Structure 1
């Protein structure tokens, strides 16, 4: 396999994993915290209708990202150009990226919602962001071991 084609597969593997991870975490967040626990909506500072509509948009985004990542994965699998080990790293980085973006940007900078209301928020913020850092650490460790192992796919 020539270098240009191999490099293209690496990029597609990374995008597939990132999209899958981001989509999966968006859906986990939406299903658990927005729907089952009903702690918040994606956008909390308007009417309940807007809050629920914003949740629907987040669901649509998460599902689109997850499916796009899986289609890219299936294409790589069909071409026999994917390593599950190499794919796992960007999946964890995508999971972490969504978690940390939500925890830092959405919760703190933009303040479009909090993890939970009417409680001491610090333990929730710490748990939310520490979990994101753990996911990121796993993804980076997988990336490091993969690069160090010198695998070609």
Structure 2
């Protein structure tokens, strides 16, 4: 008996994890460590304590989203790993991580920075360059992830012997 083994559940789980980890990276590095922006710093600049608390609240909502997506990714990975028809593949997992993180950056950059104007990556004279660089970085990660996933999803079969 020959069964087709698939990597798709691993890729989906990795995309969720990549999205969540990308959001955490953004929030921890850009919001907290570098303090370049907050979630709504273009809408309500954090120039006084009330505005700072407002921005911290929305940063917390953003981190809650990141946490939820990451937990969903862990649950999806756990479920996928327990299914015998799922082929565990480093290329599929790594590609899915890059794809999820890259799509997060691209979508967040286009929607939050450009469309809604909620904040900019690094406000100032070069904010548009920083914003577009963030989107390009995300798209490059997504393309690299897509290529890794394509390589991993090349059809493979495995022979399974059935007991007598």
TM-score by length of 1: 0.84
> Partner of 1:100 in structure 2?
106
In the superposition, relative to structure 1, how do residues 78 and 127 fare at CA in structure 2: closer, same or farther (>3 Å)?
same
Determine if contact 2:38/2:56 at 8 Å carries over to the other structure. Answer: yes
Structure 1 residues without counterparts, runs of 5 or longer: none
Greater CA radius of gyration, 1 or 2?
2
> Partner of 2:47 in structure 1?
none
Quote the offset at 1:15 in angstroms: 2.6
> Partner of 1:56 in structure 2?
60
- In structure 2, what is the Cα distance between the partners aligned to 1:113 and 1:16? 29
> Partner of 2:161 in structure 1?
none
In the superposition, relative to structure 1, how do residues 151 and 111 fare at CA in structure 2: closer, same or farther (>3 Å)?
farther
- In structure 2, what is the Cα distance between the partners aligned to 1:63 and 1:13? 19
> Partner of 2:73 in structure 1?
69
Q: How many residues align?
A: 148
> Partner of 2:82 in structure 1?
78
Determine if contact 2:91/2:151 at 8 Å carries over to the other structure. Answer: no
Give the one of 6, 10, 31 matched to 2:28. 31
In the superposition, relative to structure 1, how do residues 72 and 24 fare at CA in structure 2: closer, same or farther (>3 Å)?
same
TM-score by length of 2: 0.79
Q: Which has the higher contact order (CA 8 A, sep 6+)?
A: 2
